[in-house]
Amino acid sequence: MSQKPINYLHLSTLVAVAILVGTELVGASWAAGWALGGLFQLDPLVSRALEILFSIAGLIGLYFFMRTAIRNEPIRG
């Protein structure tokens, strides 16, 4: 069974969107962890844990965003 060729216009759009949205989501979530740690004067270890937890949440958000983006603008086709 032959596959459809790769549409490089869609691929480049999806890569650009992944970079843009990924930077925004992970950066904002990391900054939120840092800000909450500073605001509540938490221990540095707890502050780092919040940063890591929030950045993981940002990566999960990016995963679901990209899954939807690929569904709406397929790479092959």
Q: What is the DSSP string of 12-63?
A: HHHHHHHHHHHHHHHHHHHHHHHHHHHHTT--HHHHHHHHHHHHHHHHHHHH
pLDDT value at residue 1: 59
Tokens of 46: 């707890």
Q: How far apart are alpha carbons 73 and 7 in whole angstroms?
A: 10
As a whole number, mean pLDDT of residues 2-18 equals 93
Instruction: Give pLDDT tens digits for 38-70.
Output: 999 999 999 999 999 999 999 999 999 999 999
pLDDT value at residue 3: 87
User: 54: which strand partners?
Assistant: none
Mean pLDDT of the chain: 94
Cα within 13 Å of Cα(63), Cβ side: 6
